[in-house]
Structure 1
Amino acid sequence: MTALALRSLRKRTGAFTASFLALFLGATILMAFASMLDTASGTSGAAHETLVTMASVVGGWGLLLVVFAVTSTLTLSVRQRSAEMALLKSVGATPAQLTRMITGEAAVLAVVASLLAVGPAVLAGRALLGLLHDTGQVPGSVPHAFGPVAVSMGVGITFVSAVGAALLTARRLARGRIADTLAETDSGRLTRKRAAFAWFFFAVALGEAVVTVTVMRDEGSNAMATSGQADIFAALGLALLAPAIVRRAASVLAGPLRRFGGVAGDLAVTGMLRRTGATAAAVTPVILFTGIAVGTLYMQSTENSAAAAAGIVKTSEDRNIETLNFVVIGMVVLFTAIMLVNTLVAATAHRRREFGQTRLAGATPRQVMGTVAVESALLTVIGVVCGSAASLFTIVPFSLVRVDSPVPEGGVWTYVGVVALAAVLTGATAALSTRRVLRAPAIEAVSA
């Protein structure tokens, strides 16, 4: 099975592109922030504290996002190979052999992606340290160091995340019945473990919110330390529940869409109900992007308004916190945007056969494009609604503490901008990748 895994990687490089990109970007982010710990080893005082804070706080948030993204992408990749798994089982492959093959593929991808990410991670770490130099938080004489801490954390976490995600998904597919696997249906059924983790994240988010409005009420901007993490945990919890949310939303909207949406609406609802797991994977980055971006931006604008109202001049610590927040936003925007594009491209490419069958059954390319447009709109709405709900775990408690109101400071255009960016990324990526798939004749797509 090890040899089969290596041959599969060589012959099907395109199918592994999405997983490889997620692992590569994840390793880059992890090593870039971990290099701040290597850099901090030669410093002391305020500079040392700033570097450690940057690595532990922002890097910790990045760790959660990276592990979640890698797991989500690899899970989608393995699920898309259900027919291949069924054929291997039909010729005598055992569940243990299939599991070893898939985990072997993930292990090779993780190692290669981590090693290739070293160069970009060094550049990203230098850019991060340069940001701290420019804001005066770390002396310009402090050089960037990229050493064993960065490499070990990047390679180790990426490897464990990849192998763990592949192992869990492979075992589920390998133990399924051949007939069910060949059907290629993806109900996205919510397992007990997934639900348990989701409620755990919700409990942590709620705990952070409660601590903010009680323990941190008189701590000023220090309340960011607890409230700033709440939206991340809430977004992760909602992302874990995405299969159930998507299935419920599709069921509720099925009637109106089939009645007023024509062929495109009917195909969109049918596809979402049949491929709930893949649809939920596409919703996940929208939830994370919206929840964290909206929560952090409004938290920072509320803090700025509270400080201005009190006549407080920003100290170096205040600038440090603000820099951390904007680094988080930049990291979230970049990583989740790439994750969103990556997931949608992979999911759409896998539907080449489905689109071909739909066209052979009488649907026109324009109707297929309309179907994808309806699906994209639904993905955006579901993701934005869930992400907005997650952001409230940060916005409401922090606003209560800083401005004595559950309503945050800041204009509505901040929210509109985040939503618009999410919609543009989702719609444009889905449209472009679908148009590319439709270039092939329907009969070729079906026989591929």
Structure 2
Amino acid sequence: MWGLALSTLRYRRSAFVAGFLAVFLGAAIITACGGLMETGIRLDVPPQRLAGADVVVTGDQVYTLPKANPSDEDEDTQWGTLPERVRLEASLVAKLGQVPGVKSAVADVSFPVVLDGAPVTGASWPSAALSYRIAEGKAPAGAGEIALGGGGHAVGDEVEVAVRGEIATFRVSGLVTGAQAPGVFFPAGEADRLSGHPGRIDAVAVVGDVTPEQLKGALAGVPAVALTDDDRGLAEFPRALTSSESLIVIAAVFGAMAIMVAMFVVAGTLGLAVQQRQREIALLRAIGTTPGQVRRMVLAEAMAVSALATVIGAFAGFFVGRWLFDRLVGAGVVPAEVVFRHGLLPAVVGVAVSLLTAFLAAYVTARRAANARPTAALAEAEVPAYRGLRPVRRVIAGVCFLGGIALALVTVLFMSGPLSSSTAGPAVLVWVLGLALLAPAITTALVKRVRLSGPMGYLAVHNARSRALRVSAAVVPVMLATGMATANLYMQTTQLDATERAFTDSISADAVLTSADGGLPAGLLAEVRKLPQVGAEGASELVTSTAYVEKPHDNWQREEGWPVQGVTPEGVARTLTLRPDQGNLADLRGDTIALEADHAAAIGDGVGIGDTVTVRLGDRSAVELKVVALFSARTGAEKFLVPAEVLAPHTTAGAAPQILVKAAPGTSSDELTGALAGLAGKWPGVVAADRAALTAGHAEAQQTQAMVNYLLVGLILAYTAISMVNTQVMATARRAREFGLQRLVGSTKAQVIRMMTLESLMVAAFGVLLGTIASLITLVPFAITIGATPFPSGSPMIYLGVVAFAVLLTLAGTLVPAWQAMRDRPADAAKIAAAL
């Protein structure tokens, strides 16, 4: 059977190419997602400034969420990644230096600065000296001295460096060289003073013949981790930890989607190929071939094609994965310092999954073909009869529909905000799978109700009715592409619209001041309030971070933590639209907090005005805060409000990054922006912008995140679209003999093309209809959860574009091969066998 299968492949070029492309593309995408997941799991971040250290000790950015019952070992433990740098006490340096085997332990401190108008990294020279060297001049030693890693300055030059808007003049004592030397390097004392966190350090660079295990004693009770090899880079770029989770989630979600799509595409392609060989298989059965031999032949042919396709696809998957990774880096989802890793494992998984998918699809198809009676198979070779759905298909379809209903209910009843996509996303695949299983029955029912006028219309309808099984095989890819594209695109636009509206509705400020280095000068807020265009209560600092509730237990706690905003009590009422249901936001002074009312009820047995909650801030610091106000917020937009002076010191920048400004009565937006621009010019790196720029900046950030999803969904849809054309080409190319006979009895080429146009339009219409149903069943619950309306947000042109794309591809995949099939003379075409 293997020899027979291999020998027949060369006579089935269309089936071979179709099957090869389906498996090849699936293997490439699955392997690419595997590479992204491996990169996220390994998270190699080569060190730069700390490359000379053997071990780097830094704060532990992973936070273990508190349990409802700490003594309950059966309760799941959850972890979150802290968003701010977790700093260490400077006294840890001496403690680590006393560990046997340690030659030296050096404190590392880094912070953003502005040099020559551009933001760069400022760092302490003693730790950088482990990896870099002074190429000219000498190392910075005294106050007022710095060393530069670039910028075109010379030794002895005096340069102005801005830190959080404050300008200081330094003399260049030396120029630094090294693999990654750009930056500004300060003496240890100056770095400690300028960092904004005196007495606390970012990391400890340890040199010596020592392992992390040997340092455990010195680190007992300290929230720190000891890193070696490429993990040392995490001490310099802690934001890479967040990208690890993002990469793993992205790879898992879209890898699973790719596997499901591959199952559809491969099963449909192989099924159609076997249907077109029904005469051959029936003849083999008639001359004595057993069902087992037929199964082995079909399986051998499918696996021969799949084996070649998966190996080549796995190789191509490396380049696809690298391309996707570069797009993620460009979108800011992954820091540029993370190294893309694609080892052998993703390729093995891609090959194994693709081969298994092809085997299962081929086995089911071969079993059905082998079990058919030879005489019945011969009778149905040209026109396969539809004998109804098998019970197994009905049961699986019913399970899919029940699963889709369950996901819809979970989305509406239990999900909120961005989390809604975690159930709405899989729902469209479940509905599409269920509809695909019922496609033969649905297509048969739809075709019976179609009426077209004219001879070619009659023939098109007759062909569709007599070939219901083959029509359903062509409808499924169209449905898959339409349903997935419509659902995923409108989920993104709905989510973006809801996020932008929530942000816009929460801000009443007319302008904003921001800083290039992430922190504004301490005295800037007071200067803003002195402006006649603003007034004493028209400005508020805005600090954003993430926090966790430790005590009482938060029943709504999640791994991502809760958004927390630091505000100024005097200006919060005019710059934000939040209005308290209880208490007063003006009381946000000292260790206080304002909570969303429904969330407050879910903390412990419910907390209210005057109660105290323990909150773990983004840098791992725990603070006890008194509740002074409760407010209402849109579902999915819950957050905390605390005084900016409480939150800012616990952020990486250590200062407020924004000041929201409301114009005084009678002051226009242009007058306010002009006054703020004049004030901002006194501080380097400080920028004034109007409300439109504020909302546009937020929308741009959200759009950047959405672009990642558009990219990955687009890749899956491109695979589906190619497979859709693939199926149409294969189905049409097999009808050359039919076209020849039709032309012999008097039909012209134009009439045949008209007939095929009508047939392809029916296929497209059925596929678009089913895809629309699947997407609507998914989008309505999602839209209700996100925007409190059953109508998703987004332009109707998105749907029209998807429909036009599906129709055009279906027409192209049908008419081009039909025209090619009619190049021969009718008499010659009529002699073509069913197998090509």
* TM-score normalised over the length of structure 2: 0.51
- 1:119 and 2:315 matched: yes
One-letter identity of the residue aligned with 2:724? L
Aligned equivalents of 1:60 and 1:320: distance in 2? Answer: 23
1:398 corresponds in structure 2 to 782
CA contact (8 A) 1:231 1:391 kept: yes
CA contact (8 A) 1:299 1:394 kept: no
1:203 to 389, 402, 405: 402
Aligned equivalents of 1:86 and 1:128: distance in 2? Answer: 46
Alpha-carbon offset, residue 319 of structure 1: 6.3
Q: Deviations over 1:28-62 (max 9, x none)?
A: 11111111122223217212111111111111111
Aligned equivalents of 2:784 and 2:314: distance in 1? Answer: 43
Aligned equivalents of 1:23 and 1:89: distance in 2? Answer: 29
2:801 corresponds in structure 1 to 417
Aligned equivalents of 1:163 and 1:272: distance in 2? Answer: 30
Alpha-carbon offset, residue 317 of structure 1: 9.8
Aligned equivalents of 2:776 and 2:10: distance in 1? Answer: 46
1:212 corresponds in structure 2 to 411
CA contact (8 A) 1:209 1:394 kept: yes
1:51 corresponds in structure 2 to 247
CA contact (8 A) 1:286 1:387 kept: yes
CA contact (8 A) 1:58 1:324 kept: no
Aligned equivalents of 2:374 and 2:255: distance in 1? Answer: 42
- 1:299 and 2:299 matched: no
Alpha-carbon offset, residue 320 of structure 1: 7.8
CA contact (8 A) 2:307 2:355 kept: yes
Partner SS, residue 41 of structure 1: helix
1:75 corresponds in structure 2 to 271
2:330 corresponds in structure 1 to 134
Q: Deviations over 1:150-189 (max 9, x none)?
A: 1122111111111211111112111212222223122344
Q: Deviations over 1:97-119 (max 9, x none)?
A: 01001101111111100111133
Aligned equivalents of 1:10 and 1:366: distance in 2? Answer: 31
CA contact (8 A) 1:229 1:394 kept: no
2:22 corresponds in structure 1 to 22
1:192 to 381, 386, 391: 391
Cα 1:102–1:289 change in 2 (3 A) is same
Q: Deviations over 1:185-213 (max 9, x none)?
A: 22344222222222222222221111010
CA contact (8 A) 1:137 1:316 kept: no
CA contact (8 A) 2:302 2:362 kept: yes
Alpha-carbon offset, residue 141 of structure 1: 2.2
Q: Runs of 4+ in structure 1 displaced over 4 angstroms? A: 312-321
Cα 1:334–1:425 change in 2 (3 A) is same
Aligned equivalents of 1:315 and 1:375: distance in 2? Answer: 44
Partner SS, residue 414 of structure 2: coil
One-letter identity of the residue aligned with 2:730? A
Alpha-carbon offset, residue 321 of structure 1: 5.6
Q: Deviations over 1:294-325 (max 9, x none)?
A: 11111111111111211167599966862453
One-letter identity of the residue aligned with 2:409? V
Question: Aligned ranges for residues 240-319 of structure 1 at < 5 Å?
Answer: 240-253=437-450, 256-257=451-452, 261-311=453-503
Alpha-carbon offset, residue 247 of structure 1: 0.7
Q: Deviations over 1:255-279 (max 9, x none)?
A: x32xxx2111111111111111111
Aligned equivalents of 1:331 and 1:223: distance in 2? Answer: 22
Partner SS, residue 503 of structure 2: coil
Alpha-carbon offset, residue 122 of structure 1: 1.0
CA contact (8 A) 2:478 2:768 kept: yes
Question: Aligned ranges for residues 158-237 of structure 1 at < 5 Å?
Answer: 158-183=354-379, 184=381, 185-188=383-386, 189-216=388-415, 219-237=416-434
Aligned equivalents of 2:2 and 2:812: distance in 1? Answer: 39
1:93 corresponds in structure 2 to 289
Greater percentage in strand: 2
Cα 1:14–1:375 change in 2 (3 A) is closer
Aligned equivalents of 1:346 and 1:11: distance in 2? Answer: 14
Cα 1:203–1:223 change in 2 (3 A) is same
* TM-score normalised over the length of structure 1: 0.94
Aligned equivalents of 1:18 and 1:353: distance in 2? Answer: 20
Q: Deviations over 1:45-83 (max 9, x none)?
A: 212111111111111111111111111111111111001
Aligned equivalents of 2:340 and 2:358: distance in 1? Answer: 29
One-letter identity of the residue aligned with 2:426? Q
1:64 to 235, 242, 260: 260
Cα 1:317–1:227 change in 2 (3 A) is farther
Aligned equivalents of 1:61 and 1:286: distance in 2? Answer: 17
CA contact (8 A) 2:490 2:793 kept: yes
1:344 to 728, 744, 756: 728
Alpha-carbon offset, residue 149 of structure 1: 2.7
1:386 corresponds in structure 2 to 770
Cα 1:11–1:357 change in 2 (3 A) is closer
Aligned residue pair count? 441
Partner SS, residue 310 of structure 1: helix
One-letter identity of the residue aligned with 1:286? V
Aligned equivalents of 1:161 and 1:195: distance in 2? Answer: 21
What RMSD in Å do the two structures reach over aligned CA positions? 1.9
- 1:430 and 2:814 matched: yes
Cα 1:356–1:401 change in 2 (3 A) is same
Alpha-carbon offset, residue 91 of structure 1: 1.8
The worse-fitting range, judged by mean Cα deviation, of 95-104 and 138-147 is 138-147
Greater percentage in helix: 1
One-letter identity of the residue aligned with 1:444? D
One-letter identity of the residue aligned with 1:410? G
CA contact (8 A) 2:333 2:705 kept: no
1:363 corresponds in structure 2 to 747
Aligned equivalents of 1:324 and 1:222: distance in 2? Answer: 17
Partner SS, residue 117 of structure 1: helix
One-letter identity of the residue aligned with 1:370? R
Gaps of at least 5 residues in structure 1 are none
CA contact (8 A) 2:41 2:248 kept: no
Alpha-carbon offset, residue 11 of structure 1: 4.2
Partner SS, residue 791 of structure 2: coil
Aligned equivalents of 2:435 and 2:721: distance in 1? Answer: 18
Gaps of at least 5 residues in structure 2 are 44-239, 505-694
The worse-fitting range, judged by mean Cα deviation, of 261-270 and 340-349 is 261-270
Partner SS, residue 385 of structure 2: coil
2:825 to 431, 437, 441: 441
Cα 1:109–1:174 change in 2 (3 A) is same
